[in-house]
């Protein structure tokens, strides 16, 4: 099986080359750890799920997402759907952020997405319609 193509994250915090990145690589998280937990996009998705839950925050550990372990008070079949939606939203958000960053680089400008990915993600989350 061929190796997957590795691209830097759109948030600009993981996977970019250079001497500073090489020096930081020893302490850097794995790509999976970054993309599905540490990235600003993943944090925004987790925050949205936690914000729309009437009880305590359901996502308190990585295992609840990665291993699809339902938190107390959730049925497993419901949690399966929540996790799949969260992972899909994370990937979609990363693709959108990467697109904004690449478009800005092509134009030679620095956007909010390139300068502060957390702000760009928060702005995008506020612009999304509330489906609840």
- Mean pLDDT to the nearest integer, 21-37: 59
DSSP assignments along 45-99, one per residue? HHHHHHHT-SSS-S--SHHHHHS--PPTTS-HHHHHHHHHHHHHHHHHHHHHHHH
**Does residue 21 register a pLDDT over 90?**
no
Residue among 66, 47, 65, 32 at smallest CA distance from 118: 47
Of residues 46 and 125, the one with the higher pLDDT is 46
Of 124, 73, 72, residue with least CA distance to 101: 124
Lowest-confidence range among 21-35, 46-60, 73-87? Answer: 21-35
Q: What are phi and psi of 88, to 5 degrees?
A: -65, -40
């Amino acid at each position: 099986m061929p190796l997957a193509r590795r691209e830097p994250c759109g948030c600009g915090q993981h996977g970019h080359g250079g001497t500073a990145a090489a020096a930081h690589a020893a302490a850097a998280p794995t790509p999976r750890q970054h993309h599905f937990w540490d990235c600003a996009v993943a944090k925004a998705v987790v925050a949205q799920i936690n914000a729309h839950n009437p009880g305590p925050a359901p996502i308190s550990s990585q295992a609840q997402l990665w291993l699809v372990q339902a938190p107390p008070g959730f049925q497993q079949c419901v949690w399966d759907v929540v996790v799949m939606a969260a992972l899909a939203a994370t990937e979609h958000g990363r693709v959108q952020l990467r697109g904004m960053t690449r478009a800005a680089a092509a134009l030679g400008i620095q956007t909010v997405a390139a300068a502060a990915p957390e702000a760009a993600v928060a702005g995008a989350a506020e612009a999304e319609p509330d489906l609840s």
